[in-house]
Amino acid sequence: ETGVTQSPTHLIKTRGQQVTLRCSSQSGHNTVSWYQQALGQGPQFIFQYYREEENGRGNFPPRFSGLQFPNYSSELNVNALELDDSALYLCASSRTSGRAGETQYFGPGTRLLVL
């Protein structure tokens, strides 16, 4: 096990609603990254937080936002849910940011279904 946990495991929402997903990183890891994994695809980078500030962002609209807290927990918020937001959402923690070779440890993911 990686020591990274996520909640909830599954979630069903309707189009237009808002959702908050949670992640608890490994102790001592000050960087958390969020990924979206559509069915049958590889994970796609959403954004990364380092010491509670956004540190990089992929090709996702502003309705995807996040927070990171000092206690190694973090949140992914998605507003105005769309059907295409249905996916597995993964968080990954690492000791630091922006350095090749820094292993990212993934949680089990939250499966979101938007109806």
Partner 1 sequence: GESVGLHLPTLSVQEGDNSIINCAYSNSASDYFIWYKQESGKGPQFIIDIRSNMDKRQGQRVTVLLNKTVKHLSLQIAATQPGDSAVYFCAEWQAGTALIFGKGTTLSVSS
Q: Which residue in 56, 65, 75, 95 binds partner 1 (CB under 8 A)?
A: 56
67-87 core/surface letters (b: 16 or more CB in 10 A; e: else): ebeeebebbbebeebeeebbb
By CB under 8 A, is residue 71 in contact with partner 1? no
> How far is it, in rounded angstroms, from Cα 110 to Cα 80?
18
Which is closer to partner 1, CB of 10 or CB of 15? 10
Q: What are phi and psi of 22, to 5 degrees?
A: -120, 150
By CB under 8 A, is residue 90 in contact with partner 1? yes
Which is closer to partner 1, CB of 13 or CB of 60? 60
> How far is it, in rounded angstroms, from Cα 82 to Cα 36?
14
Options 14-22, 38-46, 63-71, 72-80: segment touching partner 1 (CB under 8 A): 38-46
Which is closer to partner 1, CB of 55 or CB of 65? 55
Tokens linked to 75:
């949140």
Which is closer to partner 1, CB of 54 or CB of 82? 54
Is 104 within 8 Å of 94 (Cβ atoms)?
yes
Using CB under 8 A as the criterion, which residues of the chain lie in contact with partner 1 when the complex forms? 2, 4, 33, 35, 40-45, 48, 55-56, 58, 90, 92, 97-98, 100-101, 103-109
